[in-house]
Structure 1
Amino acid sequence: MARKTYSEDFRRDAVELCRSTPTATVAGIALDLGIMDTTLSSWLRAAGVPIRGHSRPRPPTPVGDETPEQELARLRARARDLEDSERKLNTERDILRAAAKYFAGETNW
């Protein structure tokens, strides 16, 4: 199998995506970007970014028996997760835009 080469911009964007989404795993981000998780891990090591493994599942919280403080904590955690997800999606969108721009410039039609 031929070895793939990735541009420095793509590598930098992938590492930044890992930095900006602390709740995401390396395997999940690699899958989203269409690269091997070992490749992304090596880029992270080279950049000095700590590598996160599998995310721990959160225990279910009963919604009906919550105190107001517990509900507030749960909703804040949910808001934080949604903000992380939005940040990840925005970074992925920017990566895809840059890739589309790059490949559009390479065509010789």
Structure 2
Amino acid sequence: MRVARNCGPSVTIEQVAADFGVHAMTLWKWMRRADIDDGTKTGTNSQESAELREARRRIKLLKQENEVLRRAAA
């Protein structure tokens, strides 16, 4: 991403992406994610996203366990 950010005005993101063998949209997404992780743009950073995924997985598991207990008590 440093290459894409530091390239001159005559070099496009599409050219940089082609040089690295990735699609231009992939490079744009990586740059946006890096900006969010660096705090230069607003959004949910990678660490927060991972924590949210883990919390949602844990909530789903707890709901399943709760349902099993509810059925056993009935």
- Decide which structure has greater helix share: 2
TM-score interval, smaller chain: 0.3 to 0.5
The higher-RCO structure (CA 8 Å, 6+ apart) is: 1
Look at both structures and tell me which one has the larger radius of gyration over its CA atoms: 2
**Given the two structures, how large is their TM-score scaled by the length of structure 2?**
0.42
